[in-house]
Amino acid sequence: MPLPVDGASPGASAPQFPARAPSVQDLEMKLQEAEEENRRLRLQLGELRSEEHEGDNSSRCSQRSLTEKCELIHVAIVCAGHNSSRDVVTLVKSILFHRRNPLHFHLITDSVAQRILGNLFRTWMVPSLQISFYNASDLKPEVSWIPNKHYSGIYGLMKLTLTKALPSDLSKVIVLDTDITFATDIAELWAIFRKFTGEQVLGLVENQSDWYLGNLWKNHKPWPALGRGFNTGVILLLLDKLRQIGWEEMWRLTAERELMNMLSTSLADQDIFNALIKSSPSLVYELPCYWNVQLSDHTRSEQCYSELADLKVIHWNSPHKLRVKNKHVELFRTLYLTFLEYDGSLLRRELIGCPSDKEQEEALEELDEEDVCYDFRRERLASHRVHLSFLPQKTLAEDPTDVTLVAQLSMDRLQMLELICRHWEGPVSLALYLSDAEAQQFLRYAQASEVLQSRTNIGYHVVYKEGQLYPVNLLRNVALRNAQTPYVFLSDIDFLPMYGLYDSLRKSIVQENMAKTPKALIVPAFETLRYRLTFPKSKAELLSMLDMGALYTFRYHVWEKGHAPTNYAKWRIATTSYRVDWAPNFEPYVVVRRDCPEYDERFLGFGWNKVSHIMELDAKGYELVVLPNAFIIHMPHAPSFDISKFRSSENYRLCVQTLKEEFHQDLSRRYGSAALKYIAAERNR
């Protein structure tokens, strides 16, 4: 009976000694292949035997039983910048999808990644997941003396410093590159630590490219390595033992020694790891190749798996990433895309039988199902995952008069972004309400848009979808909180600012002495019901279009109260700013200091979300001042596919009423008797 391995063995029956005299090269190559095959077989055999040894003779699942239930697994990842932060999320999703153990991620980050990932994990609220951050700039001096040509830059070297960077009581850790996808439970990899014997302190997979053989091109001179060397995309680090044997001293000396010849590293830490291992091979426990299937170009990784189940960790270490040429790349792509687009909130599942904190669950249980606002309150308790600065964004120079346009949107308003960019050259802070799959669509859109690519002052903050109601005020707050300037223009995505509004507002901010007095500068709002509007170039043009019926004051037809207090009649002739009084249901678009009160997040879906904010500004004593030479125009759009309309509308109205009353009570509590006027106004409606 043919054994499974036979079929797979290269040239099992092929003539080993060809008729014509073989060349030395031929033979060397064959020998090399045979030795490799040997190594692979010995590895497999070793595994099978060691499993048997431990009284468990099944092949690949057995490692599971080697990890204790609820044993904490530690993972370290170096991550810097906006793009790597996105990559880390996909890696983390693939780990969380398969995991059954509590995890502790140790993230070595620059300030950008720390802000993004700190916020993301705080809002993700995955049970049995701990996160620690380590400041990469603290580690820079450790490696900055090493010249490095690899695209990962100085961060590529930081894996060398982990014995020092990570807590001294952490005894072992799995170290991963950001371009890794897990196709299995990471506990299986963790279990391999127990197989380390003797001097073994590093678990590594052989390199699957010929780089270190030094024959890729003429005068190609790589750093020294054992054979093909090892890849450092996946490392098992036995930290305590590494500290004992003086790891830090070891790699430093190795690097210094080799740099005398090599001038710089080409593959960052990997060169140093390999040079060190070349002189001390006994430090390595060689991991089976499927723990780091390397999809570099010309990869030899195909020899590493004979079926899907063999794939455990995929490493997209080609600069071509998903477009790399590989026989099974389509298959690998499906694994990657699975996690790229996977709804991260589904990963909030608890580990059955492991301890976890259940704060949110308890809050949910306290809710009354009979309450008219049950759905509202339930959705408010939902924590929305937030991925700040989804795309690269430059830190703005400090400027005491600068102002950011703040808005929120979902996928159906994406086409407004380029338009707004054409009308507003200043900073923008946007909250985008997207599913994980839509976030990828948005990414492709933004990366393909010349207009958006030419801007570095836009913050795209993704809030992941959760529940059925549009969390409008949560979105506004995310965009508001993450604006970088002292002032914000609280707008909406369907409005186009007049040309020059950015400069105009900066001047008004100075003129109105905004730094000293709490003020809300009102930008009057208009609307058009037509596409193909010739956008007015001046207030004069706007007024004549208004007269001709090509424009209207905003919501004139449906809800005049919302903007009537702006006093459009006065505005027509105004040449200086003028103060107006608050009135019920007033909801103008305003410029305020960024430290203004936040929006009240109890208002979800539609209704009362801006009104309550303006009311609070008024309660806090903000002056409402209309700008005489500023305007925005609302562009038409088809009625939203508004998921909230599924709700029985009677219930909806009842609930908004309840929420309003609660808001009024809270306002009185905070602002005292001055806030009673809002309740009175409400009663006299």
Rounded to an integer, what distance in angstroms lies between the CA atom of residue 302 and that of residue 309? Answer: 14
Contact present, 259 and 177 (Cβ < 8 Å): no
- Is 355 a binding residue for its own copies by CB under 8 A? The answer is no
Q: Which of 111, 164, 170 is nearest to 137 (CA)?
A: 111
- Is 503 a binding residue for its own copies by CB under 8 A? The answer is no
**Cβ partners under 8 Å of residue 169, min gap 6:** none
User: Least CB distance from residue 614 to its own copies, whole Å?
Assistant: 26
Maximum separation of any 2 CA atoms in the chain, in Å: 106
Q: Which of 44, 144, 168, 649 binds its own copies (CB under 8 A)?
A: 44
**Cβ partners under 8 Å of residue 534, min gap 6:** none
Rounded to an integer, what distance in angstroms lies between the CA atom of residue 244 and that of residue 491? Answer: 59
Binding to its own copies (CB under 8 A): which residues in 85-104? 100
Binding to its own copies (CB under 8 A): which residues in 15-34? 16-17, 21-22, 24, 27-28, 30-32, 34
Contact present, 574 and 626 (Cβ < 8 Å): yes
Which residue's CB is nearer to its own copies, number 116 or number 414? 414
Binding to its own copies (CB under 8 A): which residues in 230-289? 278, 281-282, 284, 286
Binding mask 516-545 for its own copies (x = CB under 8 A): -------------xxxx-------------
Which residue's CB is nearer to its own copies, number 65 or number 401? 65
Binding to its own copies (CB under 8 A): which residues in 597-616? none
User: Least CB distance from residue 570 to its own copies, whole Å?
Assistant: 28
Q: How many residues bind its own copies (CB under 8 A)?
A: 108
Instruction: Spell out where 183-309 has E strands.
Output: 202-206, 230-237, 284-286, 293-294
User: Least CB distance from residue 98 to its own copies, whole Å?
Assistant: 10
Q: Which of 353, 362, 369, 540 binds its own copies (CB under 8 A)?
A: 353
Instruction: Spell out where 7-152 has E strands.
Output: 73-79, 103-109, 129-135
Please give the backbone phi and psi of residue 406, each rounded to the nearest 5 degrees, phi first: -115, 130
Which residue's CB is nearer to its own copies, number 169 or number 650? 650
- Is 2 a binding residue for its own copies by CB under 8 A? The answer is yes
- Is 60 a binding residue for its own copies by CB under 8 A? The answer is yes
Q: Which listed range, 55-63, 141-149, 506-514, 593-601, lies at the site for its own copies (CB under 8 A)?
A: 55-63
Binding to its own copies (CB under 8 A): which residues in 618-647? 635-641, 643, 646
Q: With H, G, I as helix, E, B as strand and everything else as coil, classify residue 604.
A: coil
**Sign of the torsion angle spanned by Cα atoms 279, 285, 286, 290:** negative
Q: Which listed range, 164-172, 192-200, 260-268, 621-629, lies at the site for its own copies (CB under 8 A)?
A: 192-200
- Is 342 a binding residue for its own copies by CB under 8 A? The answer is yes
Rounded to an integer, what distance in angstroms lies between the CA atom of residue 50 and that of residue 417? Answer: 59
Question: How far is the CA of 550 from the CAs of 235, 262, 631, 640, in angstroms?
Answer: 66, 71, 15, 23
Q: Say how far residue 302 (Cα) sits from the centre of its chain.
A: 31
- Is 492 a binding residue for its own copies by CB under 8 A? The answer is no
- Is 45 a binding residue for its own copies by CB under 8 A? The answer is yes
- Is 307 a binding residue for its own copies by CB under 8 A? The answer is yes
**Tokens (6 digits) for 83:** 């793009």
Q: Which listed range, 130-138, 301-309, 424-432, 454-462, lies at the site for its own copies (CB under 8 A)?
A: 301-309
Contact present, 304 and 326 (Cβ < 8 Å): no
Binding to its own copies (CB under 8 A): which residues in 437-466? 437, 441, 444-445, 448
Q: For 664, what's the count of Cα atoms within 13 Å in the CB-facing half-sphere?
A: 15
Contact present, 605 and 645 (Cβ < 8 Å): no
Q: Which of 50, 303, 504, 651 binds its own copies (CB under 8 A)?
A: 50
Binding to its own copies (CB under 8 A): which residues in 403-432? 411-412, 414-415
Q: Which of 15, 141, 198, 549 binds its own copies (CB under 8 A)?
A: 198
- Is 72 a binding residue for its own copies by CB under 8 A? The answer is no
User: Least CB distance from residue 602 to its own copies, whole Å?
Assistant: 24
Which residue's CB is nearer to its own copies, number 56 or number 425? 56
Question: How far is the CA of 313 from the CAs of 31, 40, 182, 617, in angstroms?
Answer: 28, 17, 5, 53
- Is 467 a binding residue for its own copies by CB under 8 A? The answer is no
Beta bridge partners of residue 462, listed in sequence order? 387, 432
- Is 197 a binding residue for its own copies by CB under 8 A? The answer is yes
Binding mask 118-157 for its own copies (x = CB under 8 A): ----------------------------------------
Q: Which of 48, 125, 564, 681 binds its own copies (CB under 8 A)?
A: 48
Q: Which of 212, 192, 171 is nearest to 60 (CA)?
A: 192
Rounded to an integer, what distance in angstroms lies between the CA atom of residue 77 and that of residue 131? Answer: 11
User: Least CB distance from residue 88 to its own copies, whole Å?
Assistant: 21
DSSP string, 587-616: --EEEEETTSPPP-TT--SSSSTTHHHHHH
